[in-house]
Amino acid sequence: MLNNAKVALVTGGNRGIGFETVRQLAEKGVTVLLAARNLEEAEQAVSSLKEEGLTAVSPVKLDITSSIDRVAMSQLIARQFGQLDILVNNAGVGTPEGTGTVSDPLTSGTSLEELRLVFETNVFAVILLTRQLLPLLHKSSGARIVNVSSHLGSLTLHARKDQAVAYNKRYAYNASKAALNLFTIQLAQELEGTNIKVNSIHPGWVKTRLGTDAAAMEPAEGAQTSARAALFGEDGLSGNFFHLDQTIPW
């Protein structure tokens, strides 16, 4: 490494919760790679943070669904830092709206196209990127993997028709977050006894492109749980699902 600062990669870091997570980690002295599918958007986001005095942030191009980008990212981190301390799997998609696909709101009407689109980004790409970066995370003295999930992925809340999730029954998105949560559980169990902690977090209902302006929380508030999980100490949680100090049922 070039210095003693922790090194973090935040996917989907150019806006919303991801951008605020980058800011909060940088404010804590973490060297952050702000990743976006479009390098220009990443550069613009980093420029605004540097104007605030947060200079240890660098823009990187990373489409998490691209195997070429995933390999290039691992090579860049290995070359520049030799290890990775924090991986925040923040990038994700909601529904195919805006992609030209008309999506049926009924569970039984969920199209294969929607399932493929949502799972490709929210599940498969996260698994493959994490796998690609695991050797670098193992080199850290205390690595943290943060999977940005949602309480909409809670089977318990859906099964008991909890008011917290009653408003959203979009099967593809909800199922993708449930699958992401299982990845968290089993990866944490696989890595038990190592230097790596893995957690799922629920950021809350946040004013983002996905959450809309009707949401109750600002992006900076939504990023608090991600940043907290990323900075857990040795006695921190692993294999858990939470929002701030609240445990979310699987």
Say which range, 105-109, 111-115, 118-122, 209-213, has the weakest mean pLDDT. 209-213
| Domain assignment present for 155 | yes
Q: Taking the CA atoms of the chain, what radius of gyration do you get in angstroms?
A: 17
pLDDT value of position 22: 98
| Domain assignment present for 108 | yes
Q: How many whole angstroms separate alpha carbon 37 and alpha carbon 232?
A: 28
- Domain encompassing residue 148: 7-247
Q: How many whole angstroms separate alpha carbon 9 and alpha carbon 1?
A: 15
Residue type, 237: L
167 a catalytic residue: no
Q: How far is CA 19 from the centre of its chain?
A: 11
Please identify which of the residues 173, 183, 205, 241 carries the catalytic annotation.
173
Q: How many domains does the chain fold into? A: 1
| Domain assignment present for 41 | yes
DSSP summary character for residue 123: I
| Domain assignment present for 77 | yes
| Domain assignment present for 1 | no
Number of helices (H) and strands (E), helices first, in the chain? 9, 8
pLDDT band at 220 (very low <50, low <70, confident <90, very high): confident
**Other Cβ atoms within 10 Å of 131 Cβ, number:** 12
CATH code of the domain containing 160: 3.40.50.720
| Domain assignment present for 165 | yes
| Domain assignment present for 44 | yes
| Domain assignment present for 2 | no
The per-residue pLDDT for range 45-91, each reduced to its tens digit, is 999 999 999 999 999 999 999 999 999 999 999 999 999 999 999 99
